[in-house]
Structure 1
Amino acid sequence: MSLEPLLPRTVARLVNHGMRSRGGEGVERLLEHRDKRGFDTSGNWCLTIFSFRGRAVPIVPLLAYYLYCLIVVSVIMVRFQHIFVECQDSYCFLDSLTTPVSIVGSALFFLLVFRTNSSYARWWEGRKVWGAIVTTARNMGRHAAVFLNDKDLALDIIRWAAAYPIILKSHLRDEKELHEVASILQGGQIQDVMAATHMPMHVMLRISADIRVIAVHKLLPEAQIYYLDANLEEFMAQLASVECIKRTPMPFAYVAHLRTFMVLWLMSLPFVLIHDLEWLILLVCAIIGYVIMGIEGIGVEIENPFGRDYNDLPLDGLVAKCTDNLRQMMTFVEEQKGPPADEHQEAKPDAKQEVKSQPLKGAPSIGESGRSGSGSSSLDWGPVG
């Protein structure tokens, strides 16, 4: 487990991620509190107001701003007090900037809220897509467990469906750690996944190979085969959605202009307010800087909701529940001699034996697909015949 960088990006990274974080602890804390208290009228006020953890404030820029205010106020109060403080209102230097700074502050707050709302929309969209991924994996596993009469082939599809959310989570986090799938896939299969250029795509290719075996040898009616393939197409669409969220940050011009605007506004505050507040301006600037940079920090942290930040999505919990559901389906298949054959399979009692005697080139054969290490990562299936 590696330590975080020396200069963390946010207070959350400094305080909450001294060691590697799982990600999504903020959501888990709120859920835990809700489960204990229910939807009470307090609305988690005590939990949220008095919690130091999870506040996405950029510590380095904030400390730099505090230091700037301290230097500016000290110099003014020691050397230029007669210009900025001990003067009549009509003659005070930069006193005319009070109204423009107030107007600009209103516009700045509007832009910051828009930035945060845009990031939250990405966060919520990511949660909806992950909910769809879990549903698709469950549907694929259920269909294979109930309708597919070959136990080994059904188990192979369920294994890959169970491994897919874990592998996708690692892919979105740019990680190659797949220890979570060690109890689902076999050693050769895990090695093939790790060697693949695009790990989620490799999983879908393996499921496609299983579906092709089913289709070529007519182990299921066409409608049920179409249903399995439709689930695979949903996986593809969901993969594109989460990659779009991860690979498309906010436009550079918007972020750069907003931050420049924000820094200039914050730097002007000591000059505008020191006449009325004097040394108290240090406390006021500290509070204002915390609020402004905190709002901007929230937008930065939840812009990519698939990482390990405190306020990201709790992907570990979502994936674990999905995996448990599919393990239950695997247990169901292993305890059964095989689901009752439907009318289509009763009409072709020798189809299973035919598949065993004529395996496809490069594709997992019936009876071996659930036990093999998936062979080579190259899927040369050969012609259908």
Structure 2
Amino acid sequence: MAPSIPLNRRHTLNLEDYFAGPRNMDKHSKWPLFMQMHGSILPKMIVPLIWMSAWSACVTCIYEVAKKNIAVNSILLTVLGFVVSTGLSFRGSTAYERYAEGRRFFATLVTSSQALGRIFWIHAKVLPNVDVRKQMLYKISAMNLVVAYAISLKHSLRFEPYTAYQDIEHLVGHLDTFAKSATSTMPLNGGVGKKNFFKSIGDYLGLSFAASNPRKQLKKAEKPLGNLPLEILNHLAVTIDDLVSRGQLPVPMQQTLAYNNLAALNDAYTGCQRVLNTPLPIAYGILFQQITWLYVVLLPFQMVAVLHWITIPATTVASYIILGLLFIGQEIENPFGHDVNDLPLDSYCEQIALDMDIIASHSNYKPEDFFFSSENVPLWPVSGAAADTWLQRSESKLAETIRTKPNKTFEWRRWRGDKLGDEESAKND
């Protein structure tokens, strides 16, 4: 069996968390938003800001110390500023559109997964003369395939093609897939070499020359990798076919619901792949980088005659604002990666797994059991009587209470509002 590849998960906030992600949405910070560093683009702007500070210092020294008049008219600032603002606006809107679209596809994935979980566990009938334990394990295994599909999609979007990852190996180890076969020839480190210190620092700081090729593992594969999400979908398809053929989904609408949600899972996959593999055309990307950097590089020449030595901090602040917008668009353009502001795909997959466990934790749903329970108060706030108590009363009394419920509820809410208002006034006094 191939060695397990550990997940890149951190439960405590350390220095690395400021540069790598995605951000843990469960963590809460009491710092004001403008003072928070975790999730800010500032850590990846350290090198550009240092460079711009040094550049503006050189320009200012030439003007102030060497007495060389290298200042230019600020009209250039106005003309270029309009072009840069238009470009950054377009860059930011297209990047966020891709980010929101990726989130929308994963929301569809969660919805369809919950629906399939209910179909497998609740709608699928128990066959007589068949071991109940076998049927329960059958249903649980089918629900595990739904979880495996979500996790395999996450790894596929991050160019992680194997099955030995800790969060998925126990879910697909019994399936005959291309990825499983390729995993048997996988290097001990999962195809991911340990980065040296300088490469790690460069990667965290967003330096392009230090960035690793995200498709490196795909290129180094010694066997066909196949398409694990698609292969899991195939297993789900034959599972639904089997349930239908054995009569465990007797209602046609249940069958339609099962196949429609299976198709929705496939739509989520193709949609995410479209977002991943259709970036902004490279010509736009290059142009936006060029005009933005040209603008900030020319800033000191246009400010030095007016601001003098203040040109250095002014250029640094202006560069942070302008380059920050550029870097944010660049970071969220691919929302499926490991950047701080990328989508928390691990959390979404964990939520799907939890949903499956919650669905399977309840069995033998019978409406009579919870509708006519002594704890069900169907006519609150008009009446505090439980449902089983109402069964002992007359039909006319029940009908009259239901008919007058809107008026009595209105009066009760007004009374409660007045009471809460009086209590609040008493506290203030």
* Fold match by TM threshold 0.5: yes
1:213 maps to what in 2? 242
Assess, with a 3 A threshold, how the Cα gap between structure 1 residues 192 and 323 changes in structure 2: closer, same or farther: farther
Correspondence for 2:174: 188
* Counterpart contact for 1:153–1:210, Cα < 8 Å: no
Residue 110 of structure 1 and its aligned partner are, at CA, apart by 2.7
Shift in Å, 1:137: 0.4
Match of 2:344 in 1: 314
Counterparts of 1:179 and 1:132, CA distance in 2 = 25
Moved more, 304-313 or 324-333: 324-333
Q: C-alpha offsets along residues 106-162 of structure 1, whole Å, 9 cap, x if unaligned? A: 331232122112211211121121111011001001011112124343222211012
Q: Tell me: CA distance 1:62–1:22, structure 2 relative to 1, closer, same or farther (3 Å).
A: closer
Query: Structure 2 regions of 5+ residues with no counterpart?
Result: 9-13, 127-134, 182-224, 367-429
* Residue 225 of structure 2 is aligned to residue 200 of structure 1: no
CA contact under 8 A between 1:69 and 1:285: conserved in structure 2?
Answer: yes
**CA shift in 2, pair 1:203/1:82, >3 Å:** closer
Equivalent residue in structure 2 for 1:135, among 111, 121, 124: 111
Using CA pairs below 8 Å that are at least 6 residues apart, which structure has the higher relative contact order?
Answer: 1
Taking the aligned partners of 2:305 and 2:94, their CA distance within structure 1 comes to 38
Q: Which residue of 1 aligns with 2:79?
A: 103
Q: How does 1:29-48 map to 2 (within 5 A)?
A: 29=27, 32=28, 46-48=31-33
Give distance in 2, aligned partners of 1:260 and 1:328.
52
Distance in 2, matches of 1:288 and 1:28, equals: 33
The CA deviation at 1:315 is 1.8
Correspondence for 1:124? 100
Residue identity over aligned pairs, in percent, reads 22
In the alignment, does 2:123 pair up with 1:147?
yes
Decide whether the 8 Å contact of 1:305 with 1:313 is kept in 2: yes
- The amino acid that maps onto 1:189 is L
Residue number in structure 1 paired with 2:216: none
Counterpart in 1 of 2:271?
A: 241
Matched, 1:173 2:202: no
Superimposed CA distance per residue, residues 236-292 of structure 1 (whole angstroms, 9 cap, x where no aligned partner): 111111111111111111111111111221121111111111111111111011111
Letter in structure 1 aligned against 2:138: L
TM-score, scaled to structure 2:
0.63
- Paired residues, what number? 300
Quote the residue 2:200 is aligned against.
none
TM-score normalised by length of structure 1: 0.70
**What's the counterpart of residue 400 of structure 2?**
none
**Residues 1:294 and 2:324 aligned together:** yes
Q: Which amino acid aligns with 1:277?
A: L
Structure 1 residues 370-385: aligned runs within 5 Å: none
Are 1:74 and 2:61 matched, yes or no? yes
- For 1:174 and 1:219, locate their aligned partners in 2 and report how far apart those are by CA, in whole Å: 38
Q: 1:50 aligns to what?
A: 35
Q: Which amino acid aligns with 1:220?
A: L
Secondary structure of the 1:179 match is coil
Compute the displacement of 1:180 (Å).
1.5
